[in-house]
Amino acid sequence: MIDVSGLQLRAVFIQALRSFFIGRGYLEVDTPLRIPAPAPELHIQPFASEDWYLQTSPELCMKRLLAAGIPKIFQICKCFRKGERGGRHLPEFTMLEWYAAGRNYLDLMDDCEALLRFVGQALGRGSVLKVGGGQLDLAGSWERLSVAEAFARYAPRSVDEALADDMFDEDMVVHIEPHLGRACPTFLYDYPAPLGALARRKKSDSTLAERFELYINGLELANGFSELTDPIEQRRRFEKDLEGMAARGLKPGPMPESFLRDLPAMPEAAGIALGVDRLAMIFADGAEIDRVVAFVPEEL
């Protein structure tokens, strides 16, 4: 059923997202949805379109634009991921991504805080978000919790034990995520290095990736990181994921050669992907994803 108020809210807030980035000197870009090779990621399955693919994220094309010398870019576009459907997932969804040269993942956290406060103002909500029966304060300082701390605080084992037992994802979903972003939004940061396929390793601790996720009301909203700029390391990581796919009986896709070719020209940068439908859910008081899009696949 079409929820008109949900769609109106969505329209206003997408305009607010645009105003925010345009006001800060970002160039809006519009890269192709249909590409020859998405970034190989073990747990993300692309839809094939003839012998190419629908993008799972605009990440690779946007980084090529950074490499071409454009320092600040953003894009609001559709992404497609096979087999993802639930109260918080659609196989076709809307993503906001932004990339900036000379910045790191900590700067992106600051961007997130400023962006959500801006959107809250644009929607006339002020700085207090009412969601899921609780209240979140966007104005104060947001929680910054490392992955290791989150496991120590909420999970039945340490992050190292979870990785060794192959229970990282389960612990995250069952024990950790429900606690995140309750009184204020939470940045969960410093992921184990193997869980940041395109992220730069932390200089002070190479077992960690400079990657974070933003959570509000237990819902994962955005994934950002300091970008890996080393083409040899990047190729090695892609190869590992492609091997992992083959080991699971999945058809490994092609290597994104044009991206790897351009990567040496890319400056130090940080980039982030934020689920637009997810953010709309938060501003629609924690509604299911079905309520904030015009149609879901089952209605088509």
Partner 1 sequence: MFSASDFRKGLKVQIDGDPYIMTDFEFSKPGKGQALYRCRLRNLITGNAFERTFRSNDKLEKAALEERTMQYLYAQGDEYVFMDNTSYEQLEIAKAQLGNDVYFLMDNMDVEVLLFNGRPIGVTLPNFVNLVVTQADPWVKGDTSGSDTKPVTVETGFVLQVPPFVEEGDKIQIDTRTGQYVTRVKE
**Which position among 111, 190, 213, 227 is part of the footprint of partner 1 (CB under 8 A)?**
213
Binding status of residue 150 toward partner 1 by CB under 8 A = no
DSSP label at residue 241? H
CB 178 within 8 A of CB 218: yes
Tokens found for residue 106: 């900590």
Q: How far is CA 263 from CA 107, 212, 232, in A?
A: 22, 22, 10
Chain centroid offset of residue 285 CA = 21
Between residues 173 and 183, which has the closer beta carbon with respect to partner 1? Answer: 173
Candidates 77, 96, 93; CA nearest to 16 is 96
Binding status of residue 24 toward partner 1 by CB under 8 A = no
Q: At closest approach, how far in Å is the CB of 27 from partner 1?
A: 27
Q: At closest approach, how far in Å is the CB of 173 from partner 1?
A: 5
Bridging pattern class, strands 92-101 and 219-226:
unpaired
Q: CA-CA-CA-CA torsion for 122, 102, 75, 266, nearest 10 degrees?
A: 180
Order across the sheet with 48-49: list the strands.
34-35, 52-54, 48-49
Residues between 220 and 259 with contacts to partner 1, criterion CB under 8 A: 220, 223, 248
Q: Is 203 exposed, middle or buried (0-12, 13-18, 19+ CB in 10 A)?
A: exposed
Binding residues with partner 1: total (CB under 8 A): 25
Candidates 114-122, 157-165, 191-199, 277-285; binding stretch for partner 1 (CB under 8 A): 191-199
Binding status of residue 144 toward partner 1 by CB under 8 A = no
Distance CA 257, CA 254 (A): 8
Between residues 73 and 172, which has the closer beta carbon with respect to partner 1? Answer: 172
Between residues 42 and 70, which has the closer beta carbon with respect to partner 1? Answer: 42
Candidates 9-17, 60-68, 168-176, 228-236; binding stretch for partner 1 (CB under 8 A): 168-176
Q: At closest approach, how far in Å is the CB of 23 from partner 1?
A: 28
**Which position among 142, 151, 168, 283 is part of the footprint of partner 1 (CB under 8 A)?**
168
- R_g over Cα of the chain: 19
Residues between 57 and 96 with contacts to partner 1, criterion CB under 8 A: 83-89
Q: Which stretches of the chain bind partner 1, using CB under 8 A?
A: 41-44, 83-89, 168-170, 172-174, 177, 195-197, 213, 220, 223, 248
